[in-house]
Amino acid sequence: MTLMNTISISRRDFARLLGAGAAAAVVRPPLSFAKQTQSVATPLAEGGIVRLSANENPYGPCPKAFQAITDSFALACRYPDEHNNVLIDKVAKLHGVNHDQVFLGDGSGEILKLCAETFTGPQNGKLVAADPTFEAILNNASANGAEVVKVPLNSSFEHDLPKMRDSAKAGLIYVCNPNNPTASITPKDQLRDFIAAAPPQTMILVDEAYFHYADSPDYESVIGLVKDHPNLIVSRTFSKIYGMAGLRCGYCVAQKETTDRLRRNQMWDSVNCMALAAASASLDDLDQVPNGQRSNREAKTFVISELDKMGYKQIPSQANFIMFDCKRPVMPLIQAMKERKVHVGRLFPALPNHMRLTIGKKAEMETFVSAFRQVTA
């Protein structure tokens, strides 16, 4: 009781605490990306289940993030709101924007929900999104009383931006790029022109959850366009490349008027102290992103090669998952794989013969290939 009554941690102390955690991680024996994950139990291996269903990063957070989480236990008795600024400052510096242009959320999922609540509905307008795409924001908009317009992807699995623009009158257009579930991208020139031509009263949300996995020369972030477009919002997450899906931390970059509007609908203590500490430490670890990219690329190359040998065609992937044509209804295959303790992505009605597959560790992909051969024999 005495300890809790005497703990008083300022923003400066919080930053110092994170710095100590990062320093501790540096002086500890160096860990390879593989060794790092062996020391931490992950749900992917529990019960013998191979979980390739939710586009998670099986390697988890970096060592600096783990140390920061441990060090942040001392903050558990305090509300996290005063410590948000430490992470906001780092994100703002990373993207070259002002502090008030960064808005934190309980994962990017909260960002999407708040955008739906703020910019769609009977008074604000409809939501326009691709089909298929990440469904959460569609459900959020529907719950907010908004009309939801689904525009099919084009034959290249790109967003059909002209049709999306024509379908919107005010409200919100949602562009997931790279897109979930197809792992496809909408080329940078098309997206840049679309943003420039969109009516100013129509808000545009570009979801860049899988940004770090995209390596195509036709892809780039649009965060740099926010300064010139008051109607543009760009969201990111720490769930994917940074391996923090269970901690819940994300953010968006937009102009101040937009972040102010979003903040009116948000709980004041949305992101917890441990997530803030881990996210901040993750940005300091220069190995996490390239290590994650390399491991994802190696495992993805393997499974694509095996599927090619079996005659299954994939949509070109720019993410940590792939989507491929099973040449038959996918639901029976999903169930058959589950019976073999290999969990793959759910059904996406717009592509009823396609399976979405998260890229896990190499051994997990080998298990998938073996099970898939069995269920398709």
DSSP code of 314?
B
Beta carbons within 8 Å of 306's beta carbon, 6+ residues apart:
365, 369
CA-nearest of 327, 325, 321, 333 to 357 is 321
What CATH architecture applies to the domain 290-376?
Answer: Alpha-Beta Complex (3.90)
Distance (Å, rounded) from C-alpha 51 to C-alpha 358? 8
Furthest-apart CA pair in the chain: how many Å? 67
Neighbours of 16 (CB within 10 A): 12
Would you state the structure tokens that stand for residue 358, as one six-digit string?
């998260």
Give domain limits for the chain. Answer: 81-270, 290-376
pLDDT score at 13? 54
DSSP code of 236?
E
Task: Give residue for tokens 């988890």.
Answer: 60
Torsion of the alpha carbons at 301, 304, 309 and 311, rounded to the nearest 10: -160
Residues of the chain with pLDDT under 50: 1-9, 20-44
Name the CATH code of domain 81-270 (choices 3.30.360.10, 3.30.420.60, 3.40.640.10, 3.40.109.10).
Answer: 3.40.640.10
Give pLDDT tens digits for 144-179.
999 999 999 999 999 999 999 999 989 999 999 999
pLDDT score at 7? 37
CB 225 within 8 A of CB 209: no
> pTM (2 decimals)?
0.89
